[in-house]
Amino acid sequence: MALDSKVPKGPIKDKWTDYKNKIDLVNPANKRHIDVIVVGTGLAGGSAAATLAELGYNVKAFAYQDSPRRAHSIAAQGGINAAKNYQGDGDSTYRLFYDTVKGGDYRSREANVYRLAEVSANIIDQCVAQGVPFARDYGGLLDNRSFGGVLVSRTFYAKGQTGQQLLLGAYSAMNRQIARGKIEMFNRHEMLDVVIVDGKARGIIARNLITGEIERHSAHAVVVGSGGYGNVYFLSTNAMGSNATAAWKIHKKGAYFANPCYTQIHPTCIPRSGDYQSKLTLMSESLRNDGRIWVPKNMEDVMAIREGRKQPTDLSEDERDYYLERRYPAFGNLVPRDVASRAAKERCDAGYGVNATGEAVYLDFASAFDRYGREQAKIHNIKNPTAEKIYELGQAIVEAKYGNLFQMYEKIVDQNPYKTPMMIYPAVHYTMGGVWVDYNLMTTIPGCYCIGEANFSDHGANRLGASALMQGLADGYFVLPYTIGDYLSDDIRTGKIPTDSKEFDAAEKEVTERINFFVNNKGTKSVDYFHKKLGKVMWDKAGMSRNAEGLTEAMAEIKAIREEFWKEVSVPGTAAEMNPELEKAGRVADFLELGELFAKDALVRAESCGGHFREESAELDGPQKGEAKRNDTDFAFVSAWEYKGEPADAVLHKEELEFKDIELKQRSYK
Amino acid sequence: MNLTLKIWRQKDSQAKGQMVDYKVTEISEHMSFLEMMDVLNEQLVNSGEEPVAFDHDCREGICGMCSMYINGEAHGPDRGITTCQLHMRMFNDGDTITIEPFRAAAFPVIKDLVVDRMSFERIQQAGGYISVNTSGNTQDANSIPISKHAADEAMDAATCIGCGACVASCKNSSAMLFVGAKVSQYALLPQGQVEAADRVKNMVAQMDLEGFGNCTNTGACEVECPKGISLENIARMNREYLSTTLKG
Ligand SMILES: Cc1cc2nc3c(=O)[nH]c(=O)nc-3n(C[C@H](O)[C@H](O)[C@H](O)COP(=O)(O)OP(=O)(O)OC[C@H]3O[C@@H](n4cnc5c(N)ncnc54)[C@H](O)[C@@H]3O)c2cc1C
Ligand code: SF4
Ligand code: FES
């Protein structure tokens, strides 16, 4: 099948408006006869479910947690972008569009990104009307902060809990519709397959996670908003349950999977402390505004620190290597996420990591304490302040800005970051790749849509901070509710979709057989054993820096782990009860396929772009020596993979990317 | 360190549960409490036994899934944190640790340490929202200024994660702190004023219907709340409630 992105004709500024004016609508009386399934209740799924229900459709929403409020979106810290230009610093729809395309290293679809920028301002209006308590200034108006990679202040925030507050807003809108009976909420339910009837998505098979019952649910359209697949690495900043199953199941039934190798590895996370580690914790990007990143210059000091003979604070300025400032004088500690992550890896690979695992660098606030302290001393007219006084005044300012993060760090690491530098290391954080969708957010299965982090649409090869929340809510509140109407207008006379068809029988049988296999297999190894093994291959060979040899090995190794998994996995308990090990088994089985496709995609993309760094594609000399080199002649396309059985046999379809409104440039942060 | 764990095991909601003893060895003080539970579960899986079911997801104190009652305290001995943020350095070699689910009539046990908190959902559905359509045709976000003080106070109330520790710590199993937090968030914002009276009435009615107990001001909820939700929110809800009943 040829890929058709269905981008409307006309100038980029008018596309969305013209499109909305021309699409077919479903009249309110007919919406009552149409059912829509929404899988996922994060920002994307939650906002979509609430809006579709409000429009009059009958919505069935699914989440594996015990409440929509607990979706992983709840954990987002920093903020949400919107082109409001409240600060009067020259922001505009075009500038947000431009920053997002450039930040994504010119690997996203222009028309989608422009639409995202266009609806961004509405999101803030909507959320304020819902009672989201965004931060305000003393005049009572909304406050903004700035985030990496941009020159304006357009990020709205609610302390360090922006995702929580936005999700609770969408949750409250859902609750209103649940109370009216327009949303039927299925908590503790996991979608395990999509059902296709006459070529269209017409329902799902789900497992009730309390009773183990397998259920059939039908609808006229299926929307998947199940989040990202970062947990393919085992360790990531994602929630423990975050998974690819819903996205992977629709892929296996015909939805193309796009750019699986585009992953964001976030530079500022708390390092791993041992083999028992179950997840990694993010320290917000905002810390890089005031923290300076370094490792010791001399190997003797590295050893002395690891063995506890020296403290980081014992090292003088000349004994420290502020490597970001050294390598990137223009941007310094504020280079984009991918660049900062690779630079940390480079130092640690060279042996300069500062903790026992050798995988940590310092994030030091000492100069911020000093700078703010002196400034405060001036403001308060303190003559000749002592070093202690300066420190005390500076510390208070840093505490007001980042107090909750410092406290979180201390609780986990048991060191006081006001007294000694923080230790950080990059960690997997976000997946830009995902299910391929057209301009309507429809996948290559008619009637099956994909929204939020689960799709590939807006961030190209790298996502800017505070843009995922924006995309999730844009998709759910403002884009999908229009585009899905155009599709559903053909279904007003279809009537209820029966669940006693042969298609439902077949899908249910497949799901049941797989579950029975797991509980009867009685192998010798736990699910986590395989998940950790997969994670290690992914991190070592398809992590921050990749090459053809490693990726080829990764494909073979993942295949071997998968084969061992299907022989040796052990799942205690039965199918007819709450069984967390069984849930994990299903998810890891899917990760074991996705991981191999990921490596294959990374192998095919023999260029460096955004978060995807191929060692073979770096600048060889000149001032940019060693930096990533993009190749627009051969790789300005989206890779969309068609499922053909084994991941290694997947077939590549290319969506060529055209840039009519933006000039392509190599990124430089020197 | 080596530890003895006394854990509540219950096959399903119908079964009668009991405390069962387990031993774990070589636990690092840097592990989180849930990582220690992972070690136990891995041990159980490898010996063919059923692992202990417990709720968790984000493991960073924000989703509100985790809910263990550890040594007689909701979320364990540390303050201002959830179960998933508790670290093993709070314990000593040789300790015996008792682990139970959050207990309340309105939180029936589903399995082992997992409880059913749908009662919280129904309370939110009874009025925990502002009736505004998600059409995008609302007025500009800056058209109603809100004092920084009110916005900050609303934010403090809104940080409740819906974990239920307040209920589990209260001898009456009262949900006043949880409900008060939501009522307060909206009461402090102009957008929430329009439906304020109905909201508090409906949410309180649902709370009573679910079988949560009365508040007798012991303050145990505030002490155990991982998010520092203050008793002031209960007082504000009481004022809101009183003013609606006075108005009739
Ligand atoms: C620590 C952290 C901080 C972040 N900070 C920011 C930030 O400051 N700004 C920003 O813009 N972005 C941030 N992000 C990224 C952003 O939070 C996510 O990309 C976004 O919230 C994803 O939303 P979503 O709705 O697509 O998916 P999610 O919120 O992940 O929701 C997925 C939903 O799908 C359900 N689900 C999954 N699988 C199934 C299944 N098989 N069956 C049924 N239901 C299923 C889940 O129950 C859940 O309801 C951050 C991410 C992390 C990890
Ligand atoms: S008030 Fe505190 S203890 Fe109660 S549910 Fe909310 S966060 Fe948990
Ligand atoms: S697991 Fe999310 S709060 Fe503990």
Residues A14-53 have pLDDT tens digits of: 999 999 999 999 999 999 999 999 999 999 999 999 999 9
Phi, psi of A196 (to 5 degrees): -115, 125
Give the integer Cα–Cα distance in Å for A372 and A473. 37
* Angle, helices A366-379/A387-413, rounded to nearest 10 degrees: 140
By Cβ distance, the residue of B30, B62, B116 closest to A273 is B30
Using a 6 Å cutoff on CB, does residue B52 contact ligand 2?
A: no
Write out residues 62-91 of A within 8 Å (CB-CB) of B. 65-67, 69-70, 72, 74-75, 84, 86
Does B116 contact chain A (CB < 8 Å)?
yes
- Ligand 1 atom nearest A246 alpha carbon: 41
Report chain A residues whose CB lies below 8 A from the CB of B12.
Answer: 577-578
Using a 6 Å cutoff on CB, does residue B64 contact ligand 3?
A: yes
Same domain, A414 and A272: yes
User: Is pLDDT of B248 > 60?
Assistant: no
Dig out the tokens for A80 from the structure: 């949400």
Contact across the interface for A414 and B89, Cβ inside 8 Å? yes
DSSP 3-state of B170: coil
Dig out the tokens for B179 from the structure: 């409900």
Give the integer Cα–Cα distance in Å for A422 and A282. 13
Give the integer Cα–Cα distance in Å for B195 and B19. 47
Confidence of residue A149 (pLDDT cuts 50, 70, 90): low
Using a 6 Å cutoff on CB, does residue B67 contact ligand 3?
A: no
pLDDT value for B246: 75
Q: pTM (2 decimals)? A: 0.97
Residues near A110 by beta carbon (within 8 Å), at least 6 away in sequence: A12, A97, A101, A657, A658, A659, A660, A661, A662
β-strand pairing of A183-186 with A58-62: parallel
pLDDT value for A366: 95
Does B205 contact chain A (CB < 8 Å)?
no
User: Is pLDDT of A193 > 60?
Assistant: yes
Residues near A18 by beta carbon (within 8 Å), at least 6 away in sequence: A8, A10
Contact across the interface for B62 and A478, Cβ inside 8 Å? no
pLDDT value for A160: 84
In a domain, residue A656? The reply is no
Confidence of residue A539 (pLDDT cuts 50, 70, 90): very high
Interface test with B, best of A128, A177, A183, A581 (most B CBs within 10 A): A128
Same domain, A514 and A540: yes
Distance from CA of A388 to the nearest CA of B (A): 29
Q: How far is the CA of A669 from the centre of ligand 1 (A)?
A: 30
User: Is pLDDT of A305 > 90?
Assistant: yes
Same domain, A461 and A582: no
pLDDT value for B138: 85
Mean pLDDT of A612-623: 93
Give the integer Cα–Cα distance in Å for B168 and B178. 12
Residue found by looking up tokens 């590295």 in the block: A302
pLDDT value for A200: 98
Dig out the tokens for A71 from the structure: 């979706």
The percent of chain A in helix, strand and coil, each rounded to the nearest 5, is 45, 15, 40
DSSP 3-state of A382: coil
Tell me the sheet residues that pair with A640: A258, A653
pLDDT value for A273: 85
Using a 6 Å cutoff on CB, does residue A453 contact ligand 1?
A: yes
Report chain A residues whose CB lies below 8 A from the CB of B63.
Answer: 65, 70, 72, 74-75, 239
CA B141 to the chain's CA centroid = 31
Dig out the tokens for B80 from the structure: 């201002």
Residues near A119 by beta carbon (within 8 Å), at least 6 away in sequence: A16, A474, A477, A478, A479, B136
Better-predicted residue by pLDDT, A77 or A2 = A77
Same domain, A415 and A387: yes
Confidence of residue A368 (pLDDT cuts 50, 70, 90): very high
Write out residues 206-235 of B within 8 Å (CB-CB) of A. none
Calculate what percentage of chain A has a pLDDT beyond 90.
89
- In angstroms, the Cα distances linking A373 to A394, B146, B214 are 4, 31, 50
Boundary residue ending a domain (A375, A404, A428): A428
pLDDT value for A336: 82
Using a 6 Å cutoff on CB, does residue B97 contact ligand 2?
A: no
Residues near A520 by beta carbon (within 8 Å), at least 6 away in sequence: none
The answer to whether A72 and A242 have CB atoms below 8 angstroms apart is: yes
Give the integer Cα–Cα distance in Å for A225 and A16. 22
Same domain, A396 and A299: yes
Domains and CATH numbers, chain B: 3-111 (3.10.20.30), 117-247 (1.10.1060.10)
Q: How far is the CA of A42 from the centre of ligand 1 (A)?
A: 6
Better-predicted residue by pLDDT, A18 or B48 = A18
Burial of A298 (0-12, 13-18, 19+ CB in 10 A): middle
- CA-based nearest residue to B56, from A569, A66, A142: A66
One-letter amino acid for residue A530 of the chain: F
DSSP E strands in A573-660: the ranges are: 637-642, 651-656
- Ligand 1 atom nearest A79 alpha carbon: 8
Domains held by chain A: number: 3
Q: How many residues does chain B have?
A: 248
Give the integer Cα–Cα distance in Å for B127 and B187. 12
Q: What is the CATH number of the domain that holds A407?
A: 3.90.700.10
- Ligand 2 atom nearest B227 alpha carbon: 7
Using a 6 Å cutoff on CB, does residue B103 contact ligand 3?
A: no
In a domain, residue A27? The reply is yes
By Cβ distance, the residue of B30, B46, B158 closest to A165 is B158
DSSP E strands in A187-243: the ranges are: 189-197, 200-208, 214-218, 221-224
In a domain, residue A649? The reply is no
Boundary residue ending a domain (A428, A449, A471): A428
Contact across the interface for B141 and A173, Cβ inside 8 Å? no
Interface test with B, best of A161, A172, A429 (most B CBs within 10 A): A172
Q: What is the CA radius of gyration of chain A?
A: 25
Same domain, A179 and A31: yes
Contact across the interface for B60 and A408, Cβ inside 8 Å? yes
Distance from CA of A129 to the nearest CA of B (A): 6
Give the integer Cα–Cα distance in Å for A540 and A3. 33
Write out residues 88-117 of A within 8 Å (CB-CB) of B. none
Write out residues 42-61 of A within 8 Å (CB-CB) of B. 47, 50-51, 54
Same domain, A300 and A422: yes
The region of weakest confidence among A57-66, A246-255, A329-338, A478-487 is A329-338
CA B194 to the chain's CA centroid = 28
- CA-based nearest residue to A64, from A184, A226, A188, A186: A188
pLDDT value for B190: 96
Same domain, A284 and A219: no
DSSP 3-state of A203: strand
Give the integer Cα–Cα distance in Å for A601 and A599. 5
The answer to whether B189 and B154 have CB atoms below 8 angstroms apart is: yes
pLDDT value for B247: 63
Contact across the interface for B162 and A122, Cβ inside 8 Å? no
Burial of B2 (0-12, 13-18, 19+ CB in 10 A): exposed
By Cβ distance, the residue of A54, A129, A137 closest to B191 is A129
Q: What is the CATH number of the domain that holds A57?
A: 3.50.50.60
Same domain, A287 and A418: yes
pLDDT value for A427: 97
Q: How far is the CA of B38 from the centre of ligand 3 (A)?
A: 15
In a domain, residue A603? The reply is yes
Residue found by looking up tokens 């497992």 in the block: A207
Contact across the interface for A70 and B140, Cβ inside 8 Å? no
By Cβ distance, the residue of B31, B126, B140 closest to A276 is B31
User: Is pLDDT of A666 > 90?
Assistant: no
In a domain, residue A130? The reply is no
Which chain B residue lies closest to A236 (C-alpha atoms)? B58
One-letter amino acid for residue A180 of the chain: R
Report chain B residues whose CB lies below 8 A from the CB of A580.
Answer: 51, 53
Burial of B82 (0-12, 13-18, 19+ CB in 10 A): buried
- Ligand 3 atom nearest B85 alpha carbon: 4
Dig out the tokens for A558 from the structure: 């993942």
- In angstroms, the Cα distances linking A27 to A24, A53, A73, A381, A490 are 10, 14, 33, 68, 12
Give the integer Cα–Cα distance in Å for B203 and B125. 8
Same domain, A310 and A211: no
Q: What is the CATH number of the domain that holds A606?
A: 1.20.58.100
Confidence of residue A1 (pLDDT cuts 50, 70, 90): low
Does B9 contact chain A (CB < 8 Å)?
no
Contact across the interface for A478 and B136, Cβ inside 8 Å? yes
Give the integer Cα–Cα distance in Å for A187 and B116. 11
The region of weakest confidence among A151-165, A563-577, B107-121 is A151-165
CB-defined contacts A:B, below 8 A? 209
Write out residues 611-670 of A within 8 Å (CB-CB) of B. none
In a domain, residue A5? The reply is no
Same domain, A411 and A552: no
Give the integer Cα–Cα distance in Å for A267 and A234. 17
The region of weakest confidence among A210-219, A391-400, B75-84, B148-157 is A391-400
Confidence of residue A668 (pLDDT cuts 50, 70, 90): confident
Total Cβ atoms within 10 A of residue B216: 11
In a domain, residue A571? The reply is yes
The answer to whether A650 and A593 have CB atoms below 8 angstroms apart is: no
One-letter amino acid for residue A283 of the chain: M
Total Cβ atoms within 10 A of residue B63: 30
Q: Residue A386's domain spans which residues?
A: 267-428
pLDDT tens by residue, A81-140 = 999 999 999 999 999 999 999 989 999 999 999 999 999 999 999 999 999 999 999 899
Instruction: Give the angle subtended at the CA of A457 by the CAs of A148 and A217, to the nearest 5°.
Output: 125
In a domain, residue A619? The reply is yes
Residues near B84 by beta carbon (within 8 Å), at least 6 away in sequence: B32, B33, B34, B56, B58, B59, B60, B61, B66
Distance from CA of B207 to the nearest CA of A (A): 15
Which chain A residue lies closest to B54 (C-alpha atoms)? A580
> Does the structure's ipTM exceed the value 0.95?
yes
Same domain, A475 and A603: no
User: Is pLDDT of A377 > 90?
Assistant: yes
Contact across the interface for B186 and A134, Cβ inside 8 Å? no
Confidence of residue A622 (pLDDT cuts 50, 70, 90): confident
